[in-house]
Amino acid sequence: MLREYSGVVRRCVIQFTGLVFILGSPIALANSERKAESALKSFYESSWERQPDYKSYQYRVEAALARQKIASSLLVSPASVEVSQKTDRTNSNQGASETILGLDIPLWLWNERSSSINLADAEYKKLLSQYYLSQLRIAAEVRDAYWNYQKSKIESDLALRRNENAKSLALDVEKRFKAGDLSRADLHQANGALASSEAFLVEAQANVINAEQRVRSLLGSEYLKKIQFGDIAKNIEPLPKVPENLSGLDSSLPIVAALVDQLEVAKKALDLAKSQTRASPQLQIWTTKGREVYGVPYQQSVAVGLRIPFGSDARNTNRLASATAEMVDSEVRLSYERESALSNVESNVALVKSAKMKLGAADKRSNLANETRQFFDKSFRFGETDLPTRLRIELETVDANRQAAIAKINYAVSVSNLRQALGLLPE
């Protein structure tokens, strides 16, 4: 009784630990400051609710709990009842009669029950960690689609602004050409700049359509209308705190934790294979009641037997080899993925720092370019600057503004990639 109780307590602790892993472990790395739900988080939640893993998770948990219950049962499989009746009525009809009632009780092999319990517990933990990995996989797709959409939208807005400026400049040049202040060559240059801006605008709008189609594939047409993508600055994810010493970080990385659980399942499966050297033995109990002829009292007897199947070296070797192969594969994969995950975190930390520096430089260049454009616009209106110089300044300003906008997107992407490498869901 004490052993059964301790097994129940152990499984409850395992389930609680798995729940803490799902809800708490990755979040502990995040910034403690909280803010209102972002468009990126809404995007992720709407997309996750459409995934098969989300809809089937409840039933997978029920199946895992059922396996734990089966492993904890006293019998390896349900007992069976056998009933038979023997009589001579169709032959000599001497009154011979015999009724046999038997009960077959399958028994666990040595260490098979404890190995089955350990395997069921390990599979439950693996289910939790694999569920979180599925969430992270969708989060990676959502982050990529979201920021790609934002990038295409910004480039489309910049292309539209460039087109409007080119139209304004072309109208101004046309008026001056009619007044005789500028030559036809200047008019052609202005119209050429306008045509170039229109081509960029069409291309940018096509990129927005492609990005929107990708978002629609994750959200569906119904949810796409409900999501407000919002301002980039308000939707940059919180910058997580990363410890200086990354060696102690691997245990909290979901990919590493999932592979640790996979390795534990492989080890428990190997232990179970070692204990299953033969088919399950059966305890057999029979009771017989019968007589030989009419008039003789019925006699009743009870028999107890034990059915032990022979073992098979070939079958046992097959199970052991397969279980050992799974364990070795899990060990090698864990070692490789642990090193790869830590390297990924380290590189993403460096990319965040680099993106932040590029963003500062791009913003500075954009501010200077916009001020310079204002100066040359005034001088061009007063006839102090020729058209080629004015067009060159306009192109430099457009490029500086685009670089600043892309730098802001790249910084947001680098933060999202760092959070993805740490195993943090969108916030």
The per-residue pLDDT for range 397-409, each reduced to its tens digit, is 888 888 888 888 8
The per-residue pLDDT for range 124-141, each reduced to its tens digit, is 999 998 999 999 999 999
Does the pLDDT at position 10 exceed 70? no
**Can you give the pLDDT at residue 2?**
35
In one-letter notation, the amino acid at residue 321 is: A
CA distances from 83 to 97, 99, 378 (A): 14, 8, 107
Query: Residue 27 — pLDDT band, cuts 50, 70, 90?
Result: very low
Rg (CA), the chain: 37
DSSP H helices in 225-304: 232-235, 254-275
Of these ranges, 57-61, 275-279, 308-312, 313-317, the one predicted with the greatest mean pLDDT is 57-61
Query: Residue 14 — pLDDT band, cuts 50, 70, 90?
Result: very low
Does the pLDDT at position 8 exceed 70? no
Query: Residue 76 — pLDDT band, cuts 50, 70, 90?
Result: confident
Are the C-beta atoms of 409 and 232 separated by less than 8 Å? yes
Q: What is the mean pLDDT of the chain?
A: 81
Domains of the chain with CATH codes? 7-422 (1.20.1600.10)
The region of weakest confidence among 66-75, 218-227, 388-397 is 218-227
More confident of the two residues 315 and 229: 315
CA gap 136, 382 in Å, rounded: 59
Does the pLDDT at position 28 exceed 60? no
Please, which contacts does 196-200 make with residues 24 or more away whose CB atoms are closer than 8 Å?
196/166, 197/159, 197/162, 197/163, 197/165, 197/166, 198/163, 198/166, 200/159, 200/162, 200/163
The region of weakest confidence among 217-231, 348-362, 374-388 is 217-231
CA gap 237, 233 in Å, rounded: 9
How many CA atoms lie less than 13 Å away from 296 in the CB half-sphere? 13
CA distances from 406 to 91, 231, 241, 264 (A): 98, 14, 25, 45
Does the pLDDT at position 354 exceed 90? yes
Query: Residue 227 — pLDDT band, cuts 50, 70, 90?
Result: low
**Can you give the pLDDT at residue 342?**
87
β-bridge mates for residue 104, sequence order? 80, 284
Span 345-362, mean pLDDT?
A: 91
**Can you give the pLDDT at residue 124?**
92
Main-chain phi, psi angles of 95, to 5 degrees: 90, 10
3-state helix, strand, coil in the chain (%, to 5): 70, 10, 20
Query: How many CB atoms within 10 Å of residue 58?
Result: 9
Does the pLDDT at position 292 exceed 80? no
Span 135-152, mean pLDDT?
A: 90
State the helix-helix crossing angle for 52-72 and 112-179, rounded to 10 degrees. Answer: 170
Query: Residue 231 — pLDDT band, cuts 50, 70, 90?
Result: low
CA gap 379, 124 in Å, rounded: 74
